[in-house]
Amino acid sequence: MTYVEAKQVLRDASGMWGGRFFRERLIESPGRLSLIDSSTQGALPEGDSFADDVLRALMVVHRHTVWDKTLERDLVSVLVELWIHARLLSLEEQNSGTRIPQIVMVCDWIFHCKAHENV
């Protein structure tokens, strides 16, 4: 998956441009945490759930932007939208074995890297 494709996946997933709401889609298809892909450094997670697609796209965006000083404005708004809903869902115990905490973690990485670079 390319960076441009990953950004489009995240835009579509967010539902901000007329699609279904991210939170609803994430609840319907949260994916399942896999010990294999979570321990394979550098590999994109496998799976066919909605959350798997979002997680793969976030990881591609993270890899692409890790050395950049800034994030594109439209990408920031998409990431914030995803992060807020995923963060709230990750607090629910029934979501602990899903991709939802991983989505939050990758969003945190992206925001953390940008915050420290801009200090």
Q: For the segment 50-106, what is each residue's pLDDT rounded down to a tens digit?
A: 999 999 999 999 888 877 767 788 888 999 999 999 999 999 999 998 999 999 999
What is the model's pLDDT at position 74? 83
Average pLDDT, the chain: 85
Find where tokens 């050395």 sit: 67
pLDDT at 119 over 50: no
Residue partners of 47: CB distance under 8 A and separation at least 6: 31, 32, 34, 37, 99
Q: Which of 74, 76, 102 is nearest to 89 (CA)?
A: 102
Section 20-25 average pLDDT: 89
